[in-house]
Amino acid sequence: MKAAVVHEVGGVPRYEDFPDPVPREGEVVVRVRAVAVENVDRAIVAGQHYAAARYLTELPMIPTFDGVGELADGTLVTFGDLRPPYGALAELCAVDARLTRPIPAGIDPAVLSALSSAVTAMSIRTAGELDRGQTVLVQGGTGVAGRLSIKIARLLGAGRIVATGRDDDQLRELRELGADTVINTAVPDDDLLRAYRGALGDGYHVIADYLWGRPTGLLLRALIPETFALGQRTRLIQIGELAGAEVALPAASLRTSGLQIVGAATGFDADTFAAVYEQVLSWIRAGELTIELETVPLRDIEAAWCRTDLRGRRLVVTP
């Protein structure tokens, strides 16, 4: 079969022949139809993700671990949790039959393959416990997941949405998506600190943080109260680390500010996931939520993997 093959840690996948997967007991062979390539996939190939070791134990390997495919009887299913060195960027996958799920009617397989970003964006409710009328800050709003967080925050009834990014043109696009205020993080520290404080209003109730690193470090300083008055709760959801893996955490930003830092998986269990999944599908069917895609054939994976011009579109590969 043909596949996107990585030969070394940090390498770029190449369109090559790879041995067909041989299913083990309990596995089925899926013919792949659509696979979304996300930041986590690139981080794993680069060896920079905490789960990378599991996928890089055997080289060469095929990246990504979930997608949409077709069973032998023609049933379209979602699949995941593939057995290394096999991944989803291939014509065929051997998949644990228990981890396949028929796809809902009326949903484009390419869109469905990219649904995980929307599910993650729902952490503003599951982890952030967002209530209607509250303020949401999206750190890293110009990426695919950040844009979806803005759209979903609006659908969930956020009263005010603040979003950050590094590109003025894309920040203008975020206003069209529903952001009330935008902040350019590509400014000196003092200017960014003032911008966070200036947009604070009555407080950031929920923060969806795809950045971490320098911007979040400055945000934490902006949350330090100026009086002994107890602050209202601010829930910062740690989702990504596009701006760096570490931040300095001032004690004063926690002591009386009301700040709580939680991970994106907080509040998720099987029942919650099912409810979130169905809510996202409902919005997509109704045309209330869209996921912008850039679809490319598997044979073009080498060039597509390195693209930096997607501007908020999720890369989806179709064998």
Look up the CATH number of the domain holding residue 11: 3.90.180.10
C-alpha 220/C-alpha 222 separation (Å) is 5
* 10 and 43, same domain (yes or no): yes
DSSP state of 315: E
Structure tokens at 86: 């096999």
Count of domains for the chain: 2
Q: Can you tell me whether residue 182 is helix, strand or coil?
A: strand
* 219 and 249, same domain (yes or no): yes
Decide if 281 is inside a domain. Answer: no
CB 207 within 8 A of CB 161: no
CB 183 within 8 A of CB 192: yes
* 126 and 110, same domain (yes or no): no
Let me know if 168 is exposed, middle or buried by CB neighbors in 10 A (0-12, 13-18, 19+): exposed
CA dihedral 185, 190, 193, 195 (to 10 degrees): -70
Structure tokens at 207: 């923060």
C-alpha 69/C-alpha 92 separation (Å) is 9
* 87 and 41, same domain (yes or no): yes
Decide if 286 is inside a domain. Answer: no
Tokens 């971490």 -> residue: 212
Decide if 272 is inside a domain. Answer: no
DSSP state of 199: T
* 215 and 101, same domain (yes or no): no
Structure tokens at 192: 């960014």
CB 157 within 8 A of CB 133: yes
pTM: 0.93
* 62 and 196, same domain (yes or no): no
**pLDDT in the model for residue 229:** 66
* 21 and 105, same domain (yes or no): yes
Decide if 275 is inside a domain. Answer: no
Decide if 273 is inside a domain. Answer: no
Q: Can you tell me whether residue 5 is helix, strand or coil?
A: strand
Decide if 284 is inside a domain. Answer: no
Which residues on adjacent β-strands are paired with residue 67?
79
**pLDDT in the model for residue 226:** 80
Residues of the chain with pLDDT under 70: 229-230
* 110 and 131, same domain (yes or no): no
Q: Is the previous residue joined to 85 through a cis bond, with omega within 30 degrees of 0?
A: yes
Structure tokens at 306: 């390195």
* 7 and 98, same domain (yes or no): yes
Maximum CA extent, the chain? 66
**pLDDT in the model for residue 254:** 87
Q: Which domain holds residue 151?
A: 121-263
